[in-house]
């Protein structure tokens, strides 16, 4: 239940040419406390409830628990969320033995494109595609929970 991931900015739309899928995501947060976030998400035709713990000192690893719920339940819970719903399209790109999830944000976060890669360990080695930009792992401004409060367009 420990998730290890790294996060990067994306400096080119070339990733779309390599994408295996594109899925619309709408999500909100029931709780955005630094010690734990509770997220409600509709991803395509499925709903999810996710609890994430505080990141470790590197910003790469943290506890994560996720449960699939119905879209109806997710829609109801979204009404209870804190202000600032996140809307984005997620592209999945296979690169070597890993998958990059590239989020192209909409609404108040339009213009922001972030790639995440989930790793087995913090030392896991991975291929870096040409469209991958600067690393922002551990920079809390890029956490979705923070983007819901202080959108990218307001920076």
pTM over 0.75: yes
Question: How would residue 67 be classed by pLDDT, with cut points 50, 70 and 90?
Answer: very high
pLDDT, average across residues 120-145: 97
Quote the pLDDT of residue 34.
86
Pick the CATH number of 2-154 from 2.40.320.10, 1.10.10.10, 3.30.70.2970, 3.30.70.100: 2.40.320.10
Express each pLDDT in 6-48 by its tens digit.
Answer: 999 999 999 999 999 999 999 999 999 989 999 999 999 999 9
Q: Where are the domains of the chain?
A: 2-154
Distance CA 10, CA 15 (A): 8
pLDDT, average across residues 109-124: 97
Which residues, other chains included, contact 148 with Cβ-Cβ below 8 Å and sequence gap of 6+? 28, 29, 32, 82, 83, 84, 85, 86
pLDDT, average across residues 53-58: 94
pLDDT, average across residues 54-71: 96
Given a cut of 90, whether residue 102 has pLDDT beyond it is yes
Percent of the chain with pLDDT over 70: 100
Express each pLDDT in 76-89 by its tens digit.
Answer: 999 999 999 999 99
């Amino acid at each position: 239940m420990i998730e290890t991931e790294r996060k990067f900015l994306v400096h080119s739309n070339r990733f779309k040419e390599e994408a295996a899928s594109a899925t619309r995501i709408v999500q909100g947060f029931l709780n955005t406390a630094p010690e734990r976030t509770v997220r409600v998400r509709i991803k395509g035709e499925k709903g999810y409830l996710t609890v994430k713990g505080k990141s470790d000192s590197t910003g790469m690893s943290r506890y994560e628990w996720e449960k699939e719920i119905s879209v109806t339940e997710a829609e109801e819970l979204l009404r209870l969320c804190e202000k600032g719903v996140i809307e984005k399209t997620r592209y999945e790109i296979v690169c070597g033995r890993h998958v990059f999830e590239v989020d192209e944000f909409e609404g108040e976060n339009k213009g922001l494109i972030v790639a995440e890669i989930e790793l087995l360990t913090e030392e896991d080695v991975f291929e870096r595609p040409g469209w991958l930009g600067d690393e922002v792992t551990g920079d809390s401004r890029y956490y979705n929970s923070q983007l819901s409060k202080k959108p990218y367009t307001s920076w």
